[in-house]
Structure 1
Amino acid sequence: MQILNIAAYKFVALAQLPALQTALREALQARGIKGTVLLAEEGINLFLAAGEGEIHDFLAWLRKDARFEDLQIKESWSHAQPFRKLLVKVKPEIIRMNHSAIRPASGRAPAVDAATLKRWLGSGHDDTGRPVVTLDTRNAFEADVGTFRNAIDWRINKFTEFPQALLDHRDELRGKTVVSFCTGGIRCEKAAILMQEAGLTNVYQLDGGILNYFEESGHAHFEGECFVFDERRALDPALQPRVNVGAPPGA
């Protein structure tokens, strides 16, 4: 497999977005990299693929910007280019929630690493003895491809439905340690902050999401594969692509 796929995001205050958009597009085009970059005042979110040398060269260029020097990357490999084109877009949010009070760059919810979550799920409780539940913050069709065993799934169709779902189900989470999770960390990070705002006190986000969990803890307590929004469709716990998963609704 010769195509390196990377996913990354960072909540960081960004200004002069059109200029940054142009610079990123030119840097990516010059290296023949395809995929999607989303920019907003709250940060950056990217999914890109190309040869290893081109990707690493681009990351070296990007990290010269102090705002992105600590950008954490998740890597996987594929035989073919999973993106058809390059898109660099400016958006109101890098992951749309329609809840302007949620600003992760101003302070994150606590994160739990993959090894700790694996241990908690194995015992059924956290280190204080409190029951642990996992909360899938992704869309229903993503959860249908694979999710943590016994995860809470509110069957949302898009992330903008999460705030109302939380209001509808908040009392079910009281008295438990709640670990929100998603593909790479961006949705569960916003979700965890919203849950804290809603008065839930024992809330964590899964650091790095499912992809990081696969890399560090394999398939323990996870059933199925992880849906991804490119032509690979899903990755197994070894981060290998599966080709038998259907396209998402509306694709």
Structure 2
Amino acid sequence: MSTYQTLLYYCYSPIENAEQFAADHLDFCRSLNLVGRIIVADEGLNGTVSGTVEACKAYMEAVHADTRFTKTEFKIDNVDELSFIKMHCRYKPEIVHSGLRDPKLIDPNKQTGIHLEPKEFMEMIDSDDVVVLDVRSNYEHSVGKFKNAVTLDIENFREFPEKVKELEQYKNKKILTYCTGGIKCEKASALLIKEGFEDVYQLHGGIIKYGKEAGGKDFEGKCYVFDNRVTVDVNTVNPVVISTCKNCGKVTPKMINCANALCNEHFTQCDECGWEMEGCCSDACKQQPDKREYDGTGYYVKIPQPVNYDKISKRKHKNFPPKISTTI
């Protein structure tokens, strides 16, 4: 059995005094020796954390013990080493940046596409009246996507609302949206319904859950994840590699960040070009004198930003998490 686990989760649930909650939650995660990245907003939580099996168990129990987050679903991966180096928990306007902040217009707690369990999704994707829609960014679907999926040319999910007009041709079809863990689909499917799409669905739990419960059938390539694993395998039924090295064109599943921090482009690069280019996407980036040292992984730890306590509300807030008797 693996020593560590990595948890992927989100929950749309209003949080009062969310800035203070973020600071308190960071302290709690550190008390469990967890590492990871959590976004806290007035609308809820979005996180990936990694730690010992015992620490992850204690964390899940604490989240579920809070009545605001009892419905949170955790996708659990057993891993041989921690998936992060540091622990970050920050307050932001949204738990996934979409630009759709007005709950009067888009509220995942009130209306979204019909949730399909992985096996239901698998049974529908080959139907003639279905369009499978990837709502992720270019660098994500370039390394892996569902067979015949419609992809959008977007660098960030906040561009998705501008692309909806390009989907008008599919209004008479069933739209099946998917993303990594399900969080983007909550707002993407809600927006599609608001824009007049009548038959909208979403893959419950995203690609990660689909891999665990349906074997990942017909997901081509790897799934991009937002930790130092960078990508993970999904398909154990009919796997293929679809991505190619940006520099030489060789088929490769390896995705990295450009060693030039001023560029930091996500791109696929084979090992040979990685060492030759020193982890850079171009000769111009390779010549950058302050580029980061390439160690073969192409993953670089961000410098943590301090919590701005001056911005934190002074109002009383509910204690979270509850005290836990589990000894870590």
Q: Give the TM-score, by structure 1 length.
A: 0.91
Give the aligned length: 242
Question: Structure 1: 5+ residue runs without aligned partners?
Answer: 126-130
Aligned alpha-carbon RMSD (Å): 1.8
Corresponding letter in the other structure for 2:203: L
**Structure 1 counterpart of 2:107, from 103, 106, 110:** 103
2:205 is aligned with 1:205? no
Aligned sequence identity (%)? 27
- List structure 1 segments (4+ residues) > 3 angstroms apart after TM superposition: none
> 2:3 touches 2:52 (CA, 8 Å); kept in 1?
yes
Give the Cα separation in 2 of the matches to 1:108 and 1:217: 23
What's the CA shift string for 1:80-104, capped at 9, x where partnerless?
Answer: 2121211111111000111232221
**Structure 1 counterpart of 2:191, from 176, 190, 194:** 194
**Structure 1 counterpart of 2:137, from 136, 139, 149:** 139
Give the Cα separation in 2 of the matches to 1:144 and 1:22: 35
> 1:233 touches 1:243 (CA, 8 Å); kept in 2?
no
Give the Cα separation in 1 of the matches to 2:235 and 2:87: 27
Aligned CA distance change for structure 1 residues 243 and 47 (closer, same or farther; 3 Å): farther
Q: Could you tell me how far 1:19 is from its partner in structure 2?
A: 2.8
**Structure 2 counterpart of 1:180, from 163, 166, 177:** 177
Larger Rg: 1 or 2? 2
Pick 1 or 2: higher relative contact order, CA cutoff 8 A, min separation 6.
1
Q: Give the TM-score, by structure 2 length.
A: 0.70
**Structure 2 counterpart of 1:156, from 146, 154, 157:** 154
Corresponding letter in the other structure for 1:144: S
Aligned to 2:227: 230
> 1:17 touches 1:40 (CA, 8 Å); kept in 2?
yes
Pairs within 5 Å for 1:1-251: 1-99=2-100, 100=102, 101-122=105-126, 124-125=127-128, 131-167=129-165, 169-237=166-234, 244-247=254-257, 249=265
Corresponding letter in the other structure for 1:181: Y
> 1:42 touches 1:105 (CA, 8 Å); kept in 2?
no
Report which of the two has the higher share of helix.
Answer: 1
> 2:130 touches 2:175 (CA, 8 Å); kept in 1?
yes
Report which of the two has the higher share of strand.
Answer: 1
What's the CA shift string for 1:103-144, capped at 9, x where partnerless?
Answer: 21233321111111111124x24xxxxx11110000111101
Question: Structure 2: 5+ residue runs without aligned partners?
Answer: 237-251, 258-263, 267-299, 301-328
Match of 2:90, SS state, is strand
> 2:42 touches 2:94 (CA, 8 Å); kept in 1?
yes
Corresponding letter in the other structure for 1:60: E
Give the Cα separation in 1 of the matches to 2:54 and 2:151: 39
